[in-house]
Structure 1
Amino acid sequence: MVLAMSRGATRAAGRLLPEIPLLRRGRMELGSGDGDGEAAEVIVPAHFRCPISLELMRDPVTAPTGITYDRESLEGWLARGHATCPVTGRPVRLVDLVPNHATRRMIQDWCVANRASGVERVPTPRVPVGEDDAEEVLAEVAATARRGDAAGCGAVAARARALGKESERNRRCFAAAGAARTLSSAFMHLAGEPVESASAVSAALGEILAALTVFFPLDEECRRCIASPASLKSLASLLSHGELAARVSAAVVLRELASSGDRHALEGVSKTHRMCDALVGLVTSPISSQATKAALVTAYYLVSASDRAAARFAELGAVPAVVELLVDADKGTTEKALAVLDAVLGTDAGVESARAHALVVPVLVKKMFRVSDMATDFAVSALWRLCRASGAGVGACRAEALRVGAFQKLLLLLQVGCSGVTKERASELLKILNGSRTSVECIETADFKGLKRPF
């Protein structure tokens, strides 16, 4: 009876819409023609199309109003604050949606019948997670963590992660059930001792962190758990000695913690033994682009918040590590690496380390253009710090800047325009470098013939 009503209502909704050709890869033509070179159009039956998206339904569900929609489209409609059926205007709740298996099977049969025209079969959708299911899984995560059952907790956390990644609906369901808090608490319960890459505890902590990355952001309670001394100790150990996937997850969670604006958490990270060493290690010996970028973001927040942390990073070789990374880095990595370098150069140890490295000035001048406005700001600021500070090596640093064309690039930068602070520092840099210029041109000037005014 219910299926009959659903089919009838779906057809009724379909009659409101004209039939349209199936769109595939941006084209309306599929398959081959009758030998004259023209492609044949495949018309999607109106009752197979969602009344919201007008596209072929992949997971049809029927509302209490009798209208069938594609699950993703209707759930998106409800998530945007609507609480009514788009066709009838009557009240609809998420929990009231019923999978329409009959329509789904008819759509699959239709896809198979039109396979020769290039139509791909709609896969059978997975059953979405319900509130009770999510709460049951998370309760098991909490229970196994309290018992100290590392292997069991890791297995359940992996299950929660897999379910959360299946669909945005599942992810929201787990998030609403408190997944981030449960996983953060479980991590704190199992953390504390140094972890070895082959141990059950290491594997479990890695699975928990991997699951936690699916359910960001971290609220205050989550941050309190992850920023506990025991948790931070395990995070530092995982960053250095964990399996590859665990190291990446640890770096991502640490980035989320550092970028939250929680000063207590940031202070705890900076004081954790060998945490800075582990972060520099991810830059000097990259394991993945994601981990490297996460480590750079964390490092930036640490050195920006504390001169002591900045000096520590300089002592650990952060300057040469970041400069080597900058040589062939993509845009996102370049921006983050320049931010870290600029912050570290705010310390005497950072300046001393930079002046001792032959590539620092050439790389900064090279990255001053053709990356992004953000990269330009950080590159100018870092070069300004190097050239204005007194001490040994400042003359050589200025001479190198002139040799690689910093003067002309700064002129061009002021010509095309830049932000307030960058403009001030670029102007001061020009004055500093102008005093060190000789009558010999430092680089080819052909690229700068278009400048309309001299310095």
Structure 2
Amino acid sequence: MVRDDLYITVPSLFRCPISLDVMKSPVSLCTGVTYDRSSIQRWLDNGNNTCPATMQILQTKDFVPNRTLQRLIQIWSDSVRHRVDSTDSIISNESVDKRDQLLVAITDLESGSENRFESLEKIVRFAKDSEENSVFLAKTEGFVALLVGFLDNVDGGVERSVELLEQVVVALDLVLSKIENRDSILKSQKEKEVQSLDSLLLVLKQGSCESKIASVRVLKSIAVDTESKLLIAEKEGLVSELLKLIMPEKDQNLIENALSCLVAISTPKRNKLKLIHLGAVKVFSNLLTSPSNLCVSVTEKLLKLLETVSSTKEGRSEICEEPSCVAAIVNKVLKVSTVATEHAVTILWSVCYLFRDQKAQEAVTKANGLTKILLLMQSNCTPQVRQMSVDLLKIFRVNSKSCLSSYDTKTTHIMPF
């Protein structure tokens, strides 16, 4: 007796138009129609010079293997075999149909079908349904490369292109994290990466909040080495657009992902200088001093970026020109997290001790920074943070009326706020 839940529905695209059986070796004629090799060979050997499905006269009787369709048929066949062999679990007809429909949608994408937008929507819905579905897509050979290819070849009107690209980047974001050897897939697109950046920039400018987040996350995934980081930063308008995403009024999830991307690409010195030139310090300062409640991870990333630019002379100069920025950095010491405190102290050490900027020193003093540094030294901080705190105390010239001259190192009564 055959169980109903193991009833198999064969996707129509997997059937040969001649034999109506699942194709074992799909090949395509010059008309674009795909047949099983044995069936079309028999048709041609019988003296026919037309395409059986369209009845068009063939300009050539040569055919080419349809590797993509063959791969999808193999994946589908393996999936069917697994369902039939498994006795421990029952997979519903609905699950079977969804996976089969997905493979048909991928085939539509590969063939350049006019339904590709609808196919992408189906794929995105499928990936969002469950973690298992995202893993299935990630393991589908050639699927990620197919999506990346869409970033390089988008036609039609701008409006339609943006809609299509939004679906592409969301789909990419859903599966990239499930790929073990992600670097090799993205590096294989090096020669086309400039066009990919054009598409990602278009989504950042015109996409929805969801697709912007996905685009930023894909950008971060591309930044796998120095070459890619430089390429991203040198793309005209891209870094500027990322900076626009971290305004106080923006969605906090979007802000956090944009900051993560900037952290990822900011390591080369050339990129640090680019950020400084584009006014990143002021942007970071505005967000850090905004009245909106920033989550811990956003604050940590902001301070990390300020620490990164403070490693350059130009960056330290820009920070010192923003007294409110220095005060805000002091305010984060001992208040947010251990990571945030370490970033903040490193920045203050750079501008006050290394750069010896008078404005920065005054801003630290006015913001009650000396008390916080003293408290920090009493805490269980790392040796590096403790040494930077000692260095900071050395540079402040104190007189008999200062808070330091009357401070007893054995007391513990000073409160941070």
Same-fold call, TM cutoff 0.5: yes
Shift of residue 349, structure 1, vs aligned partner: 2.6
Which of these residues, 299, 305, 309, is aligned with residue 334 of structure 1? 299
Which of these residues, 85, 106, 109, is aligned with residue 138 of structure 1? 106
- Cα 1:239–1:445 change in 2 (3 A) is farther
Distance in 2 (alpha carbons) for counterparts of 1:414 and 1:174: 51
- Does residue 201 of the first structure (1) align with residue 164 of the second (2)? no
- Cα 1:129–1:325 change in 2 (3 A) is farther
Shift of residue 266, structure 1, vs aligned partner: 1.6
Partner of 1:60: none
TM-score, normalising length: structure 1 = 0.64
Shift of residue 292, structure 1, vs aligned partner: 1.1
Which of these residues, 374, 377, 388, is aligned with residue 339 of structure 2? 374
Asked if 2 retains the 8 angstrom alpha-carbon contact of 1:134 and 1:177, the reply is no
Q: Percent identity?
A: 20
- Does residue 215 of the first structure (1) align with residue 178 of the second (2)? no
- Cα 1:100–1:428 change in 2 (3 A) is closer
- Does residue 406 of the first structure (1) align with residue 374 of the second (2)? no
Asked if 2 retains the 8 angstrom alpha-carbon contact of 1:351 and 1:386, the reply is yes
- Cα 1:437–1:298 change in 2 (3 A) is farther
Which of these residues, 276, 283, 304, is aligned with residue 321 of structure 1? 283
Residues 3-51 of structure 1: CA deviation (Å, up to 9, x unaligned): 79xxxxxxxxxxxxxxxxxxxxxxxxxxxxxxxxxxxxxxxxxxxxxxx
Question: Amino acid of the residue matched to residue 345 of structure 2?
Answer: V
Distance in 2 (alpha carbons) for counterparts of 1:324 and 1:96: 60
- Cα 1:311–1:3 change in 2 (3 A) is closer
Residue 359 of structure 1 aligns to a residue in which SS?
helix
Residues 134-177 of structure 1: CA deviation (Å, up to 9, x unaligned): 44322222322xx7x5xx43321221110112122222221211
Asked if 1 retains the 8 angstrom alpha-carbon contact of 2:152 and 2:199, the reply is no
- Does residue 190 of the first structure (1) align with residue 150 of the second (2)? no
- Cα 1:222–1:130 change in 2 (3 A) is farther
Asked if 1 retains the 8 angstrom alpha-carbon contact of 2:323 and 2:363, the reply is no
Listed as ranges, the matches of 1:5-154 within 5 Å are 96-97=85-86, 126-128=94-96, 133-144=101-112, 152-154=115-117
Shift of residue 232, structure 1, vs aligned partner: 0.8
Distance in 2 (alpha carbons) for counterparts of 1:239 and 1:97: 45
Distance in 2 (alpha carbons) for counterparts of 1:262 and 1:132: 37
- Cα 1:3–1:279 change in 2 (3 A) is closer
Shift of residue 265, structure 1, vs aligned partner: 1.9
Shift of residue 366, structure 1, vs aligned partner: 1.2
Which of these residues, 422, 432, 454, is aligned with residue 385 of structure 2? 422
Asked if 2 retains the 8 angstrom alpha-carbon contact of 1:158 and 1:207, the reply is yes
Shift of residue 233, structure 1, vs aligned partner: 1.9
Root-mean-square deviation over aligned CA pairs: 3.4
- Does residue 257 of the first structure (1) align with residue 217 of the second (2)? no
Distance in 2 (alpha carbons) for counterparts of 1:437 and 1:400: 18
Distance in 1 (alpha carbons) for counterparts of 2:250 and 2:88: 43
Residue 127 of structure 1 aligns to a residue in which SS?
helix
Residues 55-100 of structure 1: CA deviation (Å, up to 9, x unaligned): xxxxxxxxxxxxxxxxxxxxxxxxxxxxxxxxxxxxx956534798
Asked if 2 retains the 8 angstrom alpha-carbon contact of 1:131 and 1:173, the reply is no
Residues 210-267 of structure 1: CA deviation (Å, up to 9, x unaligned): 1111102334223543871111122123212334333222112112223xx3333222
Distance in 2 (alpha carbons) for counterparts of 1:164 and 1:441: 60
Q: 324-333 or 130-139, which moves further after superposition?
A: 130-139
Distance in 2 (alpha carbons) for counterparts of 1:246 and 1:169: 22
Distance in 1 (alpha carbons) for counterparts of 2:204 and 2:407: 47
Residue 190 of structure 1 aligns to a residue in which SS?
coil
Q: 221-230 or 200-209, which moves further after superposition?
A: 221-230
- Does residue 266 of the first structure (1) align with residue 234 of the second (2)? no
Which of these residues, 342, 345, 353, is aligned with residue 318 of structure 2? 353
Asked if 1 retains the 8 angstrom alpha-carbon contact of 2:151 and 2:195, the reply is no
Distance in 1 (alpha carbons) for counterparts of 2:85 and 2:132: 15
Residue 162 of structure 2 aligns to a residue in which SS?
helix
Distance in 2 (alpha carbons) for counterparts of 1:219 and 1:302: 15
- Cα 1:319–1:312 change in 2 (3 A) is same
Residues 166-216 of structure 1: CA deviation (Å, up to 9, x unaligned): 12222222121143232112222228x9x95xx101110111001111102
Distance in 1 (alpha carbons) for counterparts of 2:185 and 2:201: 20
TM-score, normalising length: structure 2 = 0.69
Shift of residue 274, structure 1, vs aligned partner: 1.0
- Does residue 229 of the first structure (1) align with residue 188 of the second (2)? no
Aligned residues: 328
